[in-house]
Amino acid sequence: MKKTFIALLALCTFIACTKEKTNLHLTGNVKGLTQGTLYIKKIQDSVLVSLDTIKIDGDSNFKADLYVETPELYYLFLDRGVTNSLDNSILFFAEPGKMNIQTELEGFLTKAKITGSENQKLFEEFKKMKSRFNDQNLALVEKGIRASMKNDTATLDSINKEQDKLTIRTYRFTANYALTHGNYEIAPYLALSEIYDMNTKYLDTIQKTMSPKVAASKYGKLLTKFVADRKKDDTAASKAKEIAKP
């Protein structure tokens, strides 16, 4: 009797622990999708790994219960079956809680509306601003092509200078955005993905402004290690220059 009780207790504990391992309830709808498969994936150790598979058969609504250790970027992939469409993935900032993704079969990415994640809100705000810089750069590229066709070197030089200034502005904006949002995991993510080649002192400042919670996150730890490695490389390079001096 005693052994049976212990076995039941162990089983209940196991079930409870299993249930606790989901902290993100993701729901959504892909309007117009009647047949297909959705995959939720993330990058782990430089490899894209699948977290969940959702079959769509008649009902375009979907849901998934996932465990997010710390907020990070996930992918929602759509397998349409036989198609040449490249519009098959949505990148979203997953975090514990309740999230919802509403989109459509035609315009799977462009029509996606994601709610329930503060990091996602900040991510979308950043992308909106960055698109303005991208538009400005595209306009300069078009000017450059026209100037090149005319062999107008003076105009090309001027455009190159404008592009350099635009790059600096983009980097400064990104760095300031990360510094302003040190309480969110978006900060170390942007430092690592957008301005990883910026001067070490700026990355170090971003790293130091992270909250303890963010510093302990996946991207926070990666940024801390990245900055530490960069400092070692900078020190080694500085010593090499000293040795090379006549």
Cα–Cα distance, 198 to 162 (Å, whole number): 19
What is the structure's pLDDT at 245?
Answer: 60
For residue 67, give every residue at least 6 positions away whose Cβ sits within 8 Å of its Cβ, in sequence order, or none: 21, 22, 23, 24
Complete edge-to-edge strand list for the sheet that includes strand 97-104: 61-66, 24-31, 97-104, 113-115
pTM confidence score: 0.86
Question: Residue 141's pLDDT is what?
Answer: 96
Token representation of residue 91? 């990148």
CA gap 208, 20 in Å, rounded? 32
> How many other CB atoms sit within 10 Å of the CB of residue 136?
15
How does DSSP assign 70-139, residue by residue?
A: S-EEEEEEEE-SS------EEEEEE-SEEEEEEEESTTTTTT-EEES-HHHHHHHHHHHHHHHHHHHHHH
Structural domains of the chain in order of their starting residue, each with its CATH number: 24-116 (2.60.40.1120), 120-244 (no CATH)
Query: Who's near 209: CB < 8 A, 6+ residues apart?
Result: 179, 182, 187
Contacts of 88 (CB under 8 A, 6+ apart): 77, 78, 79, 80, 108
103 vs 13: CA distance, rounded Å = 39
pLDDT (tens place) for every residue of the chain, 246 residues total: 444 544 444 444 444 444 559 999 999 999 999 999 999 999 999 999 999 999 999 999 999 999 999 999 999 999 987 665 678 999 999 999 999 999 999 999 999 999 999 999 999 999 999 999 999 999 999 999 999 999 999 999 999 999 999 999 999 999 999 999 999 999 999 999 999 999 999 999 999 999 999 999 999 999 999 999 999 998 877 666 666 666
Residue 29's pLDDT is 98
Locate 16 and state its tokens. Answer: 């409870």
Spatial contact of 137 and 163, defined as CB atoms under 8 Å apart: yes
